[in-house]
Amino acid sequence: MTVLPGSHRAAGLLDDAALVRAMLDVEVAWASVLGSSLELGDWAPVLDPVEVEAAGNPVLPLVKALRARASVTVHTGLTSQDVLDTAFMLLARGAVERVSADLRRVGAALAGLAVEHRVSVMAGRTLTQFAVPITFGLKAARWLVGVLDSLDELDTVRRSLPVQCGGAAGTLSRVADPAVVPAFAASLGLVWPGMPWHTYRAPVTRLGDAVVRVCDALGVLAADVLTLGRPEIGEVREGFVAGRGGSSTMPQKRNPVLSVLVNSAALQAPGLGAQLHLCAARAVDERPDGAWHAEWPALRALLELAVVASAQAAELVEGLEVRADVMARRASEAAGELLAERGGGTDPASYLGQAETFVDGVVKRWQGSW
């Protein structure tokens, strides 16, 4: 059993083996800009956990194994934090690209729902009670805004992921030609921010904040589906998949598993983001004494949450069953309450304000985003 249901959706992106491969990519790129050719093929060492503990991080055991294999000088001028920070940026790039791809699936499905249900009347609710009429198209459009904003933020973060290169104390003391650093960054598809960021952790917190906001947006969607899917409401329902949503004791159950898991991710993500900020605030001296180390598991967990949740959300929205007839019937039955603001009436569809205009604007933004 895995700790995170759905972790198979992130397989190979953020695990220990992926981190080792990313660290090797960093060492190969660094050797190359210094004029050495480091040919490793598919080779990757299995790091001894005792050696990792003894070093305090996995870089020293990796470099030891690399030096035993390579015929050229490796790691000259770098420090462990350079390698590990840069490796995490490479892992983050892969995770962000995966999340963005699944968010585009979510967005496409939501845009379709917004158009299809542009005038599908339903009861609007505030503070759990009936408010005024809305359309399901408007609700889908609101979800879509969160997805669009998240895609924009992820794209900005992805294009600014930085290489780390500072040497022992952030002075590049063993690098004779500083021009190699931008070349190093370019070879990895990262950016060189102009100086090392060993104790300035904004690159990590910016990444974390963007990922938390992805989970926020998906969490709202999932929570709405959970509410609207309650049997006593029954306005939406997760699509049926054989073998999913069963109960160990109650054979009649069809649990909304995807919504539950996406909602769970949204509840976990802010704490992990806060952990990154706490670590950033304690990044003292020229290289931190524990704050950096506490950052790794939080960042990996947060990225994995987003990868898994975005894939689950895509499947959720693509299979979502919308029961517009139930929505319309409930809105009609509650017309007295829904139209009270206007002073009464019997047709909720006559009091939708700018709902259709708002839907059209969001859908147009989606269509123009590609």
**Active site positions, annotated:** 247, 287
For residue 207, what are its two tokens? 């990444």
Helix (H, G, I), strand (E, B) or coil at 84: helix
Pinpoint the alpha helices (H) of 192-290. Answer: 202-228, 257-281
Instruction: Render 269-332 in DSSP notation, one character per residue.
Output: HHHHHHHHHHHHHT--SSS-SSHHHHHHHHHHHHHHHHHHHHHHHHHHHHTPEE-HHHHHHHHH
Helix (H, G, I), strand (E, B) or coil at 259: helix
5 and 244 in contact (C-beta within 8 Å)? no
The burial class, CB within 10 Å (0-12 / 13-18 / 19+), for 123 is: buried
* Dist. CA 68–CA 211, nearest whole Å: 38
For residue 117, what are its two tokens? 């249900």
* Dist. CA 335–CA 364, nearest whole Å: 31
Least Cα distance to 29 among 184, 193, 191, 176 occurs for 184
Q: List Cβ neighbours of 93 (8 Å cut-off, separation of 6 or more).
A: 158, 161, 189, 190
Least Cα distance to 112 among 143, 134, 133 occurs for 143
Between the CA of residue 262 and those of 11, 166, 323, what are the distances in Å? 18, 39, 22
